[in-house]
A = this chain, B = another copy of it.
Amino acid sequence: MWKPDRSAQTPLYQQIVEHIEREISYAVLPPGSILPSERKLAEQLGVNRSTVIQAYEELRASGLVESTVGSGTRVSLTKWGISPTNTPNWRQYTEGGTFLPNLPLMRRIREVTLNDASIINMASGELSSDLFPNDIVNRILREEPFHEHLGYDDPQGYSPLRKSLVESLKQYNGIQTTESSVLITSGSQQSLYLITQCLLSPGDAVAIEDPSYSYSLPMFQSAGLRIFRLPVHEDGIEPDDITNLYRQHRIRMVFLNPNYQNPTGTTLSNSKRMRLLKIAADLRIPVVEDDPFSLTAFDDSVPAPLKSMDTDGSVLYIGSLSKIAASGLRIGWMVAPKSVIDRLTDARQQMDFGLSILSQWVAERLITSGYFDRHLLQLRQALFQKQQIMVQTLWDTLQERVSFVLPQGGLNLWCKINQSIDDAKLLEESIKRGVVFVPGSVYGSEQGFIRFSYAKPKHEEIQAGITAFSQALKRF
Which residue numbers of A lie inside 8 Å of B, CB to CB?
A: 1-2, 19, 22-23, 25-31, 33-34, 79, 85-91, 93-94, 96-99, 101-102, 107, 110, 114, 124, 126-127, 129, 132-134, 137-138, 141-142, 145-146, 148-154, 159, 176-181, 185-187, 189-190, 193, 197-202, 217-219, 223-224, 252, 281-282, 284-286, 310-314, 326-331, 337-340, 342-343, 346-347, 349-359, 362
Complex interface: chain B residues within 8 A of A110 (CB): 349
**Which of B27, B137, B327, B356 contacts A311 (CB under 8 A)?**
B27
State the CA gap A463–B281 with chains docked (Å). Answer: 56
* Distance to closest chain B CB from A342 (angstroms): 8
Complex interface: chain B residues within 8 A of A352 (CB): 185-187, 189-190, 193, 330, 352
**Which of B79, B340, B350 contacts A193 (CB under 8 A)?**
B350
State the CA gap A197–B218 with chains docked (Å). Answer: 13
State the CA gap A114–B30 with chains docked (Å). Answer: 45
* Distance to closest chain B CB from A86 (angstroms): 4
State the CA gap A327–B428 with chains docked (Å). Answer: 44
What are 22 A-B interface contacts by the 8 Å CB criterion? A2-B179, A23-B181, A26-B176, A27-B312, A27-B313, A28-B180, A28-B181, A33-B337, A79-B311, A87-B284, A88-B284, A90-B286, A94-B198, A97-B197, A97-B198, A97-B343, A102-B346, A114-B154, A124-B152, A150-B329, A152-B327, A328-B356
A-B contact sample (11 more), CB < 8 A, given A28-B337, A96-B200, A219-B350: A1-B179, A23-B338, A28-B177, A30-B314, A86-B282, A87-B312, A96-B199, A97-B198, A187-B353, A330-B352, A359-B359
Question: Do A137 and B146 have beta carbons less than 8 Å apart?
Answer: yes
Interface SS of chain A: loop
**Which of B31, B129, B356 contacts A313 (CB under 8 A)?**
B31
Complex interface: chain B residues within 8 A of A142 (CB): 142
Complex interface: chain B residues within 8 A of A93 (CB): 199-200, 252, 286, 340
Q: Name the residue in A197, A201, A217, A223 with the highest tally of chain B Cβ atoms < 10 Å from its Cβ.
A: A197
Question: Do B129 and A23 have beta carbons less than 8 Å apart?
Answer: no
State the CA gap A155–B349 with chains docked (Å). Answer: 20
**How many copies of this chain does one complex carry?**
2
* Distance to closest chain B CB from A374 (angstroms): 17
State the CA gap A195–B184 with chains docked (Å). Answer: 24
Complex interface: chain B residues within 8 A of A284 (CB): 86-89
Question: Do B28 and A90 have beta carbons less than 8 Å apart?
Answer: no
Complex interface: chain B residues within 8 A of A154 (CB): 114
Complex interface: chain B residues within 8 A of A340 (CB): 90, 93-94
**Which of B29, B327, B350 contacts A151 (CB under 8 A)?**
B327
Question: Do A197 and B1 have beta carbons less than 8 Å apart?
Answer: no
* Distance to closest chain B CB from A193 (angstroms): 5
Complex interface: chain B residues within 8 A of A180 (CB): 1-2, 23, 28
Chain B residue nearest to A110 (CB atoms) is B349
Question: Do A327 and B150 have beta carbons less than 8 Å apart?
Answer: yes
Question: Do A329 and B347 have beta carbons less than 8 Å apart?
Answer: no
Shortest beta-carbon contacts, A-B, top 10: A30-B313, A27-B313, A356-B359, A150-B326, A186-B352, A97-B198, A28-B181, A328-B357, A94-B343, A99-B197
Complex interface: chain B residues within 8 A of A314 (CB): 30, 87-88
Question: Do A88 and B146 have beta carbons less than 8 Å apart?
Answer: no
Chain B residue nearest to A88 (CB atoms) is B286
Question: Do A150 and B328 have beta carbons less than 8 Å apart?
Answer: yes
Question: Do B199 and A151 have beta carbons less than 8 Å apart?
Answer: no
Q: A176-B26, A330-B353 are in contact. Are A132 and B151 (CB under 8 A)?
A: yes
Question: Do A193 and B28 have beta carbons less than 8 Å apart?
Answer: no
Complex interface: chain B residues within 8 A of A354 (CB): 330
